Every structure is written in structure tokens, then in C-alpha cells.
Structure 1
Amino acid sequence: MNLNLKNAWRQDKTSNSLSEVYSSIKIPKNASFWRKYLAFAGPGLMVAVGYMDPGNWATDIAGGAQFGYTLLSVILISNVFAIVLQHLSVKLGVVAERDLAQACRDHFNPTTNFFLWIFCEIAIAACDLAEVIGSAIALNLLFQIPLTWGIVITTLDVLVILLLQSRGFRWIESIVGGLIFIILACFIYEIIISQPAFTEVLGGLVPKKEIVQNPAMLYIAIGILGATVMPHNLYLHSSIVQTRDYERTKEGKKEAIKFATLDSTFSLMLAFFINAAILILAAATFHITGNKHIADIHDAYKMLTPILGASMASIAFAIALLASGQNSTLTGTLAGQIVMEGFLNIRLKPWLRRLITRLIAVIPALIVALLYGEEGTTELLVLSQVILSMQLSFAVVPLVMFTSDKAKMGEFVNKPVLKISVWIISFIIIVLNLYLLFQTFFGE
């Protein structure tokens, strides 16, 4: 990093982000395009997980069941926003050699940082809550394990993550990639047997004015957008991109940004396909048969096999949900470690940090499951997405600020067109999330 750029930050870093795996994955020199791409590939898949977690499923199912293919365009637009924001996250991590939490600690005063940290911890707990509930619902659907026991079982994930990371960061990336492949395979099967009208699917990718004119449609559309862009992913990506041992020079950073952006863009297109597949499945199965009331995961699971006449339809759906919940767990707890270390510069043992994160999510989920059962956990899933929407602006705005600041980014600063675009995206996200919050708490 050049001297001017280093001086643009208020203080030097005291340590590298995720120091136990920092710069641990070798990048071959003078290799072919594909060898280099494969060396950089991995962080994008881990980020993509957050865009297909169980919290997204309810909004996608409700959107497809009620309005057919119309809201596919919203999933597409949300994905474009995500691709742009994750590109900024890559730039921050590679150029400044800081994750977003460290960058905030360097830039803001201690009071502001404390509140940003609290908001971020709440968002990660809310995200973890969605994953715990999603995994517990999947275990209940597949093996009839009661929700309460399913929630308890999810705490064991902490031990799995520790075992994997001790073997190297590539192990975690491989497990995540494998689970994404399972989800993908399940939904390719679901799409084939549900036989959607592909001309209508293509038509759904074009935005319609009725999305804005119909209040019920607008509400679900904003829910899809709010559930798609995950705040913890911006912290996560800016950190794990630094696991690559690229040359910390101007040319090395340019190459790292190029390949890491290709990695995340490809991975987020996979996430787009999976989210779109959930909505298409709901549209092709529930909307056209008049079951427009289907709005949650339990109902969708119960109705798939009778409507489609394929015994594997419901099972594949639940397997994909379990894989989604487990995948999100891996990345959510890692994000928790990055946020605590970055904002507070506190180093806890990884197992303790992850256990704390998991218990914060498990305890409310367990209480609600015991008191209210299936219906209560579904409502808690929706609430977790509202909390995430509230926190999103506190991650997006600092990220856009830092990457648009020439003093901090040097020649890698956002170009004028990108700068205008990301501020417009930020404004849209903030306004829509405020509207979603207003409708959730004060709407009819």
C-alpha cells in the first residue's frame, strides 16, 4: 500500500482480518486465466449463501403463490444491486487491506463505532435466527424431529466449523460449494417436474408498473429486496477476499479485484437462479392451481407432492432448505467473528465467539418454539428479515463512503458513473426498507 493511502486512514491496523487464515491460499504466478480464476474462486460462493438463506424463502414463496411470475423482475434487480455492492466490498478489502468493520473503526469516533457494532451484532443474530429456524424446520419436515430439538441440534454446527477451519480455509469453501450444488440440483429437479410456462417466466423478468401500483405486490417486492441484500455479507466479503496470497502491489491488487469480482458475480448469478427457482416453483405449483394463500415453508412442503404428484418433490424441497440453513450458518458465524474483531479489536477464541453468536440466536428461537410452535417460528423468521432491513443502511452507506473517497482508495476510487450508481442504489435500498418497516409496524 502506498504511503499516501495508508495515511488516509486514521490509524494503522493492529492486525490482519481473520489473521489465522490471512493470505493463506496461494495464487499461481504466470498461470492461465482459468487457473487463476479457480485460485480466487470460493469467497463468492460463501457470500452467495447469504442471498439464498431460509429468510428469503418465505418472501419468494409468497410472491410466486400470490402473483405468479410477475415479481421475478424484483429478484433480478435485487441481484444486480447485490453484485455492485459486493464489488465495492472486494475493492475495500483488497485496496485498503481492511474489512468493513476495521475500516469503520479507523474512520469513525468510538461512540459511532459502538453503535455500528451493536446494530451489526443484532443483524447477525437476526440472520443466525433465520438459519437456526430454517434448519430446524427442515429437520422437522425430513425426520419429524420436534422444532425445539431441531433448534438445539443446530448448536452443534459450531464444532463442525471449528474442525473445518483448523484444516484450512479451502475446506470451508469446499463444504459451502458442495451444499450450494445440492440446493441447485434440488431446484433443477423441482423446476423440471413443475413444468413452468417459460414464456411467462421470461416475461416476468421485465419490470411491470403494476408492481408499484398494487400495494400488496409492492409490499412483497420490498420484502424480497430487503431479504436479498444482506448487511453481514459486506463485512464478510471484505475480509475473506484477503485470504488470497496475491501480490500486495498496484498490479497485484488490480488482478485480485478483477478475479474476486468475477467470482462473486458468477456466484451471485447462482443465487439468482435459486431464488428465482423458488418463486417459479411457487408460481407454477400454487398460483396456477388457485392455492394463492400459500405463504410459508410448512405449507409449501405439504402441498408440493399432492399437487405435482411426485413423491420426491417435498423431500427435495426440504433437503434444499436444510442445505441452505447449514450453509448460512457457516458464513454467519464467520461474519460475527469478523465484526467483533474489526470493531472492537477483541480477540476471543473462535469456538467461544461462535458459541456466543449461536446462543444469541438459539435462545429466542427455542423460547418461541416452546411457547408458540410452528406458527410462532414462521413469524420469527419474518421478524428476522425486518431486523436485517433496519441494519442494511448502516453497512451500505459506510461502504459507499469509503470506496468513493480518493484519499482512502487512491487510483482505485469509484469512477464517477459507479459512484453515482452506488449512491442511487443506496438511496433506493434505504427508502424501500423504511417503507417496509413502516408497513410492518403501522400498516393495516
Structure 2
Amino acid sequence: MGIVERLRAIGPGAMVAAAFIGPGTVTTASVTGAQFGYALIWTIAFSVVATIVLQEMSARLGLVTREGLGEALRNRFDNQILQYVSVALVVSAIGIGTAAYETGNILGGAAGLETVTGIPASLWGPLMGIIAGALLWTGKYELIERALVALVAIMGISFLIDAILIGPDIGAIATGFVPTVPEGSAFLITGLVGTTVVGYNLFLHASSVQERWAGPEDLGECRTDTIASIVVGGLITLSIMITAAAAFPVGTEISDVGTMAEQLEPVAGTYAKIFFSIGLFAAGFTSATTAPLAGAYATAGALGWDDDLSSTKFRAVWMTILGVGVVFSAVGFSPVQAILFAQVANGVLLPIIALFLILVMNDSAKLGNYVNTTAQNVLGGLVTLIVVWLGIRSLLSLAGVF
């Protein structure tokens, strides 16, 4: 199959990109660019490589075994205690975690629409939730996928145009690919990696590839989709960071991403403000749709439920996650404690999921000739170690130790 045909098959990978480019990513990239200029561009490059390594494994698992990651996790252990612990980790970190983040997704997208229309975000938020719910309720994977691919394209174009309008320093961009760790940047480095290498995306990807492709004979097409989509997602994050780095003096504090668009207008004009707002809306809506879907796939797989998009239990999970976001966004409530729990739980769970994923990908009884190569194991191990190290360094930095 030629490259043009493969690009036409873009789908599950784009859903992964849609999931990790949310308001949290827009916020983190904007804050990083404003505070440290172009210095941390290398972090995005690392995050893209790390995401490709882990997501390729997850997609291969789903394609070859026809199991979701939650299902594979539940079936892996003979010991009942380990089974219960693994299920509890998945349901708490992924199910509750996506519910906690959902409010931010909806409020972020609504803030983008408010900037363009002047209509309050408190009105846009519930409307966005209703539209996302209607899309998921159709139970038609292909329709959901196409809608998200289109929104990723809109998001990418919007943020890229913004980065061009702002007139960045090309030389400084090139220098930013050289790894440096400026004082006080450890927390943001961890944040950039954490908003790209997302635990629930591993569950989403393993399940969504089964909806699109028949089996391992489609692995080449699947890999093209994965790599191309995640690279595009990385370029979107890069565009956001570059925009902030070019727009503001190094050290500028940005407290609310919703005001970022307004701050851009005096620097780059009305169009920059509009494009940023459109991109922020697309980021919020895509994440508001994929987070409940990922939470439902993970929870259904871990509990042994049917993961058909039209099944009652599957719908009940994503409706609960989406409902939490809609209600909290309507009242303007920010579930800070829930989000903090989700961040800690996901931070603990990601290395565990990554290690488990590597373990499963070496199971020849399950995967046959599609087990990991030595190079894939080494890369996966390095990514996991670095994620663990960044998490520890971030915690020590917050505690004032490192």
C-alpha cells in the first residue's frame, strides 16, 4: 500500500493526538514558552518519541491479540489479589482521572468560544458536553473518528498560523532542540511530558485499532497512522510553545490560558487572537470527547464488561465521566482536589502500565512473531525510566529538595 493510501487511513492515531492535545497541553506549553522561551523545545521532541514508542506497542497489542489493554491487564495475573489491585488502579486512575480532567477540557474549549463570540463560557460548556455526548451516543466509531480527525486538522492549522503570524526566532527554535534544564523548569518539563505521554491513551489506542483494522496484516498501515498522528500532535504543541515564546519576554507569568488569546492581540493582531481561540476550542472539544471514551474502554476492559460502544455499561461509564465535566463546568467549579488525585494516580500508574505493556509485548504465546524486538524493549525501558525519574525530580523540586 502506497503512502497516500496509508495517510487516508489516518484514524486511531489521530484520536490519540486529539486526546493529548487538550487545554492542559495548551496551558502547559503556553506557560513554558512564556517563562523559558524556546529553551524547552527538546522536551516536546522527547515526548513525541516516547509517545510513539509506547503507543505503537499498545496498538500492536490490540491489533494482534484483539484485546484491550484493560482486558490484557485483568487476564495477565493468576493471583486474585494482583487482579483486584490492577483493576482498582485502572478504574481509579483512568476512570476517576478522566472524570476529573473532563471539567478542564470543557471549560478550556468553552473559554476559546467565549473569546470569539462573547457568550459566557458557563453557557458554552454544557452545550459542548451535550454535543460530545450526542456524538458518543451514536455508537458509530467511524463517525466519532472522522469528527475528531477533522477537529485535529482545524486545531493544527489554527495554532500553526498563530506561530507563523507571531514571527518566531528560527535560530532560537533550532537551539531549543539541544537539551538544557533551566533553574525552576523541572516541574514544567514533567508537565510537558505528562500531557503528551498519557496513560489512558494506551487503553484508548489498543481498543480503537480493533474498530478500524482486521488484524496484524494491517500493522504497517497502523504504524503509519500512529507515527504521523503523534508527530502532528507534537508539532501542534510546538506551535503553541513557539507562539508564547515569541509573544512574551522570558519570565512572563501566564495564569490563565483563557486570557492567552487576549494577550496575543496587542502583539500579533486580532487574527492571532481568533486563531488561538479556535485552536483552544478544538483542543477542548476533542479531549472532552476522547477522555470519556478512553475511560470507558479502560474501565470496561478492566472489569470484564462488553466494550461495544452501544452497550449499556460502556455508555454508563462515559456518560458519568462526561456528566461530571458538564455539571462542574456549568457551575464554574474547578475540582482541584480531584484533579490533584488524578495527576498523582496517573503519575504512579503510567510507569506501571508501561512496564506491564513491555512485559505483555514479550509474551510469544499471545503475540507470536509480533513480540517486541530487543530495540523496542530497550527504547520502552528507557522511556519508562525517564518518566519515573522526571516524576521523582518534580516531586523533589516541589518539596524544595532538588
Name 2:165's counterpart in structure 1. 193
Alignment match of 2:115 (pick from 127, 141, 147): 141
Q: Which residue, 222, 229, 246 being the options, matches 1:267? A: 229
Letter in structure 2 aligned against 1:240: S
Q: 1:62 touches 1:296 (CA, 8 Å); kept in 2?
A: no
Q: For the aligned residues, what is the CA RMSD?
A: 2.6
After TM superposition, the structure 1 = structure 2 runs for residues 151-162 of structure 1, keeping only pairs within 5 Å, are: 151-162=125-136
Counterpart position of 1:404:
362
1:235 paired residue number: 203
Q: Which has the larger radius of gyration?
A: 1
| 2:301 equivalent among 342, 348, 353 | 342
Q: Deviations over 1:106-130 (max 9, x none)?
A: 1133312331222221222233233
SS in 1 for 2:248: helix
Change (3 A) 1:378 1:297: farther
Q: Does 1:176 align with 2:140?
A: no
Distance in 1 of aligned mates of 2:272 and 2:335: 23
1:381 Cα deviation after fit: 7.3
Does 2:106 match 1:132?
yes
Instruction: Provide the secondary structure at the position in 1 that maps to 2:178.
Output: coil
Contact 1:72-1:205 at 8 Å conserved across structures: yes
Shift of 1:378: 9.2
Provide the residue aligned with 1:112 in structure 2: 85
Aligned pair count reads 392
Measure how far apart 1:439 and its partner are. Answer: 4.1
2:99/2:292 contact within 8 Å kept: no
Q: Is 2:254 the partner of 1:294?
A: yes
CA spacing shift, 1:189–1:158, aligned 2, 3 Å: closer
Verify the 8 A CA contact 2:38 2:176 in the aligned structure 1. yes
Tell me, in whole angstroms, the C-alpha distance in 1 between the residues paired with 2:49 and 2:304: 33
2:320 maps to what in 1?
A: 356
For normalisation by structure 2, the TM-score amounts to 0.89
Match of 2:188 in 1: 220
**Matches of 1:320 and 1:354 in 2, distance apart?**
24
Once the 2 structures are TM-superposed, how far is the Cα of residue 93 of structure 1 from its aligned partner?
Answer: 0.6
Give the aligned partner of residue 19 of structure 2.
Answer: 50
Are 1:128 and 1:332, in contact at CA under 8 Å, matched by a contact in 2? yes
- SS of residue in 1 equivalent to 2:38: coil
Tell me which of 32, 38, 58 is aligned to 1:89: 58
Could you tell me whether the CA contact under 8 Å between 2:186 and 2:393 is conserved in 1? no
Letter in 1 for 2:73: C
Deviation (angstroms), 1:405: 2.8
Quick check: 1:276 aligned with 2:241? no
Which residue of 1 is the match for residue 97 of structure 2? Answer: 123
What SS does the aligned partner of 2:179 have? coil
Measured in 2, the distance between the counterparts of 1:285 and 1:278 equals 11
The answer for the alignment partner of 1:4 in structure 2 is none
Q: More displaced, 338-347 or 49-58?
A: 338-347
- Bigger Cα displacement from structure 2, 233-242 vs 107-116: 107-116
1:149: how far off? 3.0
Please identify, of 50-59 and 340-349, the stretch whose mean Cα deviation from structure 2 is larger: 340-349
Deviations 1:348-371 (A, max 9, x none): 52543322111233444555x25x
- The residue type paired with residue 325 of structure 2 is A
1:144-176, Cα deviation, whole Å (9 max, x unpaired): 33343333223203433135x44x422222211
Cα distance change of structure 1 residues 39 and 318 upon mapping to structure 2, 3 Å threshold: closer
Whole-angstrom distance in 1 between the partners of 2:130 and 2:6: 33
Measure how far apart 1:382 and its partner are.
7.9
Indicate the larger mover: 379-388 or 106-115. 379-388
Counterpart position of 1:373: none
* 1:335 partner letter: A
**For residue 174 of structure 2, what is the amino acid of its counterpart?**
L
For residue 98 of structure 1, the aligned residue among 36, 54, 67 is: 67
Task: Quote the Cα distance in structure 1 between the aligned partners of 2:369 and 2:267.
Answer: 57
**Alignment CA distance shift 1:237-1:361 (3 Å):** same
SS of the residue 2:84 aligns to: helix
The answer to whether the Cα contact below 8 Å between 1:123 and 1:391 also exists between their aligned partners in 2 is no
Q: Equivalences for 1:301-380 in 2 at 5 Å?
A: 301-308=261-268, 310-347=269-306, 348-349=311-312, 350-366=314-330, 369-370=332-333
* Greater mean deviation of Cα atoms: 178-187 or 379-388: 379-388
Shift in Å at residue 412 of structure 1?
1.4
Describe the shift of the 1:392–1:440 C-alpha distance in structure 2 as closer, same or farther (beyond 3 A).
Answer: farther
Identity of aligned residues (%): 27
Runs of 5+ consecutive residues of structure 1 not aligned to the other structure: 1-31, 371-375
Contact 1:155 1:358 in 2 (8 A): yes
Q: Secondary structure at the match of 2:228?
A: helix
In structure 2, relative to structure 1, the CA distance for the partners of 1:134 and 1:354 (3 Å cut) is same
Normalising by structure 1, report the TM-score.
0.81
- Paired residue for 1:432, among 390, 395, 399? 390
Structure 1 residues 383 and 282: alpha-carbon distance in aligned structure 2, compared to 1, 3 A threshold:
farther
Counterparts of 1:180 and 1:62, CA distance in 2: 22
Residue by residue, what CA displacement relative to the aligned partner does 1:360-419 show, whole Å, maximum 9, x if unpaired?
33444555x25xxxxx68998788655543432343222122112333322211112221
| Residue identity opposite 1:261 in structure 2 | R
Q: In the alignment, residue 355 of structure 2 is paired with which amino acid?
A: V
